[in-house]
A and B are shown apart, each in its own frame.
Chain A
Amino acid sequence: DSGVTQTPKHLITATGQRVTLRCSPRSGDLSVYWYQQSLDQGLQFLIQYYNGEERAKGNILERFSAQQFPDLHSELNLSSLELGDSALYFCASSAILVSTDTQYFGPGTRLTVL
């Protein structure tokens, strides 16, 4: 158990809909990362927040957005969903903002878009 929690574990929805994925980082960690894992694209970095502020963006679509709240939990919002958005979405957290720090991954949310 990494100490990172994600809800829900599974999500099934229809094209065009909007969903919210939630992540609670390890106690004391200030940095939260979101990743997408799909069969064709592999594991891709989406976005990073540190202590409530956006710090880095990866291959995140404009239809996707995220935020980190004062209690440090984070939410990833996916809208106008398409079939190709079906994937595993991972959240990770780390303590500080240095590249040597380890990122600890949650168990993931499996999103299925029908």
Chain B
Amino acid sequence: GNSVTQMEGPVTLSEEAFLTINCTYTATGYPSLFWYVQYPGEGLQLLLKATKADDKGSNKGFEATYRKETTSFHLEKGSVQVSDSAVYFCALISGGGADGLTFGKGTHLIIQP
């Protein structure tokens, strides 16, 4: 079956530091890959996605590249802000759309001023 592995944290960084959150996956077929973010007390928001190998998703300064050869989708940001503090989930979906997302356990990111 499908699975997603990501570092759980908490990950604590200073403002303006470089961020990497690792995500690797196991999936049947050719999955679509997603990063979702969850702020305290809220639902999940899509941060970015990539739907085929070598695609790069980007949004709000965050980037992730779909690497089929290493089955990875690492999230990066060059300079984090306090407002980026949240829980980040890597997820995938396969099966032609008749399926749900498989999530990693989430990475709690804390940015200190």
The interface residues of chain B lying within 8 Å CB-to-CB of A107 are: 42-43
Measured between C-beta atoms, what is the minimum distance from B73 to chain A in Å? 14
The number of residues on chain A lying at the interface, defined by a beta carbon within 8 Å of a beta carbon of chain B, is 31
The interface residues of chain B lying within 8 Å CB-to-CB of A101 are: 97
Q: Which residue of chain B has its CB nearest to the CB of A108?
A: B43
Measured between C-beta atoms, what is the minimum distance from A46 to chain B in Å? 7
Are the CB atoms of B45 and A98 closer together than 8 Å?
no
What range describes how many residues of B lie at the interface?
A: 20 to 34
Are the CB atoms of A35 and B100 closer together than 8 Å?
yes
Selected contact of B99 from candidates A48, A92, A96, CB within 8 Å: A48
Indicate if B96 sits at the interface (CB-CB under 8 A). Answer: yes
Indicate if B10 sits at the interface (CB-CB under 8 A). Answer: no
Are the CB atoms of A99 and B32 closer together than 8 Å?
yes
Q: Which residue of chain A has its CB nearest to the CB of B96?
A: A99
Interface residues of B in 61-113 (CB under 8 A from A): 89, 93-106
> Whole-angstrom distance between the alpha carbons of A106 and B43 in the complex?
6
Measured between C-beta atoms, what is the minimum distance from A30 to chain B in Å? 11
> Whole-angstrom distance between the alpha carbons of A101 and B98 in the complex?
11
Are the CB atoms of B100 and A97 closer together than 8 Å?
no
Indicate if B22 sits at the interface (CB-CB under 8 A). Answer: no
Are the CB atoms of A42 and B45 closer together than 8 Å?
no
Q: Which residue of chain B has its CB nearest to the CB of A98?
A: B97
Are the CB atoms of B103 and A42 closer together than 8 Å?
yes
Q: Which residue of chain B has its CB nearest to the CB of A55?
A: B98
* Among all A-B residue pairs, the 9 with the closest Cβ atoms: A45-B100, A97-B97, A43-B103, A105-B43, A100-B51, A98-B97, A105-B44, A55-B98, A107-B43
